Amino acid sequence: MSARGAAVLAAGAAVAWSNAVLPRLASRYGWDRDARSAATLGFCLADAALARFVVPTVPGVAVGVVLAGGGLALVEPVAREAPSNRMKWAFVDIPLGTALPEELLFRGALTPALEAAFGRPAGVIGGPLTFGLWHVGAARAAHDPVFPTIVVTTAFGAVLDTLVRRTRRWWPGFVTHWALNAGGVILSSGSGISSPGRRNP
């Protein structure tokens, strides 16, 4: 028994949830932005708890890899409605529906779990890369090129990981994540960054 199985299982579950599970649930049950945000927050809290469990290494790693592969193979973009209020989008939807759950999961649990299980170098790469793969479905929904999106969001995840690691606090990452996304919405004034189909990182 080790922490490796839990870390990989949680990472694989994250990739599957964002790219394949959430879109299908949202489509089947007609979830709007608020419902998707609530479901994602619940998932991120549960997955963060999973990352801290002790799971047998071989089955945990195997299932995690299968989940990640399945999530990427079965990507289904979420049909995203236009925001009814841009200020609500910037100051409620983004912080509570995007930045908070993602920071709780990735900076708060997944990267630390991967570092603890496999060592600092693996965590430094694995955490941000999982964060990048989390956004494949978002790229498809926004009609953005997938590979550049993975590269950019992975790099952004690495910056946030470094910020949290150096400050030893989770909230600077949250504030930075929120500020970047909300700033793009406010300053773009209808440009591609804030188009209705776009999902922020």
**Alpha carbon distance 126, 132 (integer Å):** 10
Q: Does the structure show a pLDDT above 70 at 195?
A: no
Q: What single string gives the DSSP state of each residue in the chain? A: -BHHHHHHHHHHHHHHIIIIIHHHHHHHHT--HHHHHHHHHHHHHHHHHHHTS-B-HHHHHHHHHHHHHHHHHT------PPPS-HHHIIIIIHIIIIIHHHIIIIIIIIHHHHHHHH-HHHHHHHHHHHHHHTTHHHHHHTT--HHHHHHHHHHHHHHHHHHHHHHT-SHHHHHHHHHHHHHHHHHHSSSGGG-TT----
- pLDDT tens-digit series, residues 110-154: 999 999 999 999 999 999 999 999 999 999 998 999 999 999 999
- pLDDT tens-digit series, residues 155-189: 999 999 999 999 999 899 999 999 998 876 666 54
pTM as predicted: 0.90
Query: To 10 degrees, what angle do helices 111-118 and 3-16 make?
Result: 140
**Alpha carbon distance 92, 64 (integer Å):** 32
For tokens 């490796």, the residue is 4
- pLDDT tens-digit series, residues 14-70: 999 999 999 999 999 999 999 999 999 999 999 999 999 999 999 999 999 999 999
Query: What is the pLDDT of the chain when averaged over all its residues?
Result: 90
User: In this predicted structure, what is the pLDDT of residue 158?
Assistant: 97
Report in angstroms the alpha-carbon separations of 38 from 20, 88, 101, 142. 17, 16, 9, 21
- pLDDT tens-digit series, residues 83-115: 778 888 889 999 999 999 999 999 999 999 999
User: In this predicted structure, what is the pLDDT of residue 188?
Assistant: 57
User: In this predicted structure, what is the pLDDT of residue 85?
Assistant: 80
